[in-house]
């Protein structure tokens, strides 16, 4: 669906001879045209922030809405306001469906400006965008009950019935590949519109009295957002990463500022490339590269993406993958980033499926007490470096002799011999498991 929006925005840009941006009715960025002008005024602070953080501030939204764009049925010209950071005038094309505003297409105004015929043609394209946005919103809202039933039903006939109901509700769109996305923790209701989503729902962390901890530690209570993403094209997971780029600021309480956004992209080159491609519709503009996938996420919210599945019966397993990836992202910190794909979380794939009560191993307890704050980290980094003392010492920023001393303390406290492969494996898995479960 992201590619559909990008194509339509590019079509409007070509019709009117100006770069266009598409935002939903909550002023969250969906797609934008390439900007190749050398005119610095064309990228005023409002447009730059919208692209980099993928949303506009409440003040900017209020100012633009003061020109009646939510009620307009045709193009609205908005003058420049340098004091508000708007150095260039705007043309707003309301995106509506059956009289209800779904979003806005924005263009920088210029003299002499587009003629009436070109504006009429652009409004026709905006109507097609409105239909797509309305269909997405309706799909996510209408199928939340069926989707939730599939993810929470017990095995056997209950799950079979839930899958059958979702298959009927999805219709033809239920065919083909899908991925499950987990954003956690999530507060409030499911969003009305998620790009590329076939269904959206909010999933409790088990029932009352059986809640599991926050994926990043810190105690029980909470919910996760589940999104079923249709996969299309040569880069199948790009739609899922695009959806996450809209959801993460919302999950974080809408406080995204764009600061450090580039560092918040997933950790592997493949993930980064997929994310940036998803965020820009395949374009390689500098603002898009800086935008990343989770601009300004600072509240510990993480997201996980499952492997693609082709059968709806595989959705419960895909959801387990997505939740495990979200928990791994919370546990591993910067190494995985706030967004993790199941295929890239390494040992956490196995640890996530192990019963929680079996993970409290004595060797981890011995190292994680307040009296030994550096030992657990030292041991984990040493094992992450495949037992190479030079690499581990450099990563920790300590002298090699200090490393050897700490490792000897680790052996004394745990009773393990770090020259033995099985002892190393036990310690490594115990430390990873303790990190995963906070």
User: CA 68: distance to chain centroid?
Assistant: 32
What is the widest separation between alpha-carbon atoms in the chain?
81
- Shared-domain flag, residues 102 and 236: no
Vertex 230 angle, CA 125 and 202, to 5°: 105
Within 8 A by CB and 6+ apart from 173, the residues are 139, 198, 230
**Does some domain include residue 164?**
yes
Range of the structural domain that residue 237 is part of: 143-345
- Shared-domain flag, residues 201 and 328: yes
Last residue of a domain, one of 83, 105, 135: 135
- Shared-domain flag, residues 295 and 233: yes
- Shared-domain flag, residues 157 and 301: yes
**Does some domain include residue 316?**
yes
User: CA 33: distance to chain centroid?
Assistant: 22
- Shared-domain flag, residues 165 and 307: yes
User: How much is the pTM?
Assistant: 0.53
Structure-token match 């959705």, residue found: 315
**Does some domain include residue 350?**
no
d(CA 56, CA 30): 12
Q: What is the pLDDT of residue 215?
A: 42
Q: What is the pLDDT of residue 268?
A: 38
Last residue of a domain, one of 78, 109, 135: 135
Contact (CB, 8 A) for 408 and 367: no
The per-residue pLDDT for range 156-172, each reduced to its tens digit, is 888 899 999 988 888 77
**Does some domain include residue 328?**
yes
Contact (CB, 8 A) for 101 and 92: no
Contact (CB, 8 A) for 55 and 88: no
Q: What is the pLDDT of residue 217?
A: 39
Structure-token match 């019935």, residue found: 161
Query: What are the pLDDT tens digits along the chain (438 aa)?
Result: 444 788 899 999 999 888 889 988 878 888 877 655 555 445 555 555 555 444 566 777 787 888 999 899 999 998 887 765 667 788 999 999 888 888 999 988 777 778 889 999 999 999 999 988 877 766 555 688 899 999 998 778 888 999 999 888 887 777 788 999 999 888 888 876 677 788 889 998 753 333 344 444 333 347 899 999 888 665 666 777 777 776 775 554 433 322 222 223 333 333 433 333 333 333 322 222 222 233 323 357 889 999 999 899 999 999 999 998 998 888 877 777 788 899 888 888 877 766 444 456 777 777 876 767 788 889 888 988 988 999 999 999 999 999 999 999 888 888 889 898 888 888 887 887 777 666
Q: What is the pLDDT of residue 295?
A: 30
Last residue of a domain, one of 135, 157, 184: 135
- Looking at the structure of the chain, the number of domains it has is 3
- Shared-domain flag, residues 181 and 114: no
**Does some domain include residue 351?**
no
Domain of residue 73, CATH code: 3.30.450.40
| Residues pairing with 181 in the sheet | 227, 305
| Residues pairing with 31 in the sheet | 22
Burial class (CB in 10 A: 0-12, 13-18, 19+), 293: buried
The per-residue pLDDT for range 302-352, each reduced to its tens digit, is 899 999 998 999 999 999 999 989 988 888 777 777 888 998 888 888 777
* Helices (H), ranges, 143-253: 144-152, 157-170, 238-251
- Shared-domain flag, residues 89 and 211: no
- Shared-domain flag, residues 159 and 37: no
């Amino acid at each position: 669906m992201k590619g559909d929006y990008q194509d339509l925005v590019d079509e409007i840009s070509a019709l009117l001879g100006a770069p266009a941006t598409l935002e939903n009715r909550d002023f969250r960025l969906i797609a934008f045209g390439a900007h190749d002008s050398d005119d610095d005024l064309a990228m005023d602070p409002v447009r730059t922030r919208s692209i980099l953080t993928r949303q506009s501030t409440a003040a900017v939204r209020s100012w633009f809405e003061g020109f009646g764009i939510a009620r307009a049925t045709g193009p609205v010209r908005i003058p420049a306001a340098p004091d508000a950071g708007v150095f260039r005038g705007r043309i707003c094309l309301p995106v509506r469906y059956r009289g209800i505003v779904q979003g806005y297409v924005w263009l920088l105004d210029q003299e002499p400006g587009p003629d009436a015929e070109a504006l009429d043609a652009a409004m026709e394209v905006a109507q097609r965008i409105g239909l797509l946005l309305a269909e997405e919103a309706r799909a996510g809202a209408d199928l939340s009950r069926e989707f939730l039933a599939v993810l929470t039903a017990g095995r056997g006939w209950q799950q079979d019935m839930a899958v059958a109901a979702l298959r009927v509700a999805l219709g033809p769109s239920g065919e083909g590949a899908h991925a499950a996305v987990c954003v956690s923790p999530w507060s409030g209701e499911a969003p009305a519109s998620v790009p590329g989503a076939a269904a959206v729902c909010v999933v409790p962390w088990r029932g009352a009295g059986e809640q599991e901890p926050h994926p990043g530690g810190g105690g029980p209570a909470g919910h996760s957002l589940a999104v079923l993403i249709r996969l299309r094209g040569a880069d199948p997971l790009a739609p899922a990463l695009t959806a996450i780029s809209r959801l993460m600021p919302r999950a974080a309480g809408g406080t995204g500022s764009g600061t450090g956004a580039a560092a918040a992209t997933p950790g592997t080159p493949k993930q980064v490339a997929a994310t940036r491609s998803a965020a820009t519709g395949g374009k390689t503009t500098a603002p898009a590269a800086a935008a990343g996938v989770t601009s300004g996420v600072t509240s510990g919210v993480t997201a996980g993406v499952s492997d693609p599945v082709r059968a709806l019966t595989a959705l419960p397993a895909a959801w387990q993958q997505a939740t495990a990836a979200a928990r791994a992202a919370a546990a591993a910190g910067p190494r995985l980033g706030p967004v993790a794909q199941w295929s890239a979380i390494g040992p956490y794939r196995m640890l996530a499926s192990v019963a929680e009560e079996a993970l409290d191993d004595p060797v981890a307890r011995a190292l994680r007490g307040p009296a030994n704050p550096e030992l657990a980290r030292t041991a984990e980094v040493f094992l992450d470096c495949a037992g190479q003392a030079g690499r581990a010492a450099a990563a920790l920023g300590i002298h090699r002799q200090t490393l050897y001393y700490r490792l000897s303390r680790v052996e004394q406290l745990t009773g393990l011999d770090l020259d033995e492969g099985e002892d190393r494996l036990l310690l490594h898995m115990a430390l990873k498991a303790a990190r995963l479960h906070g």
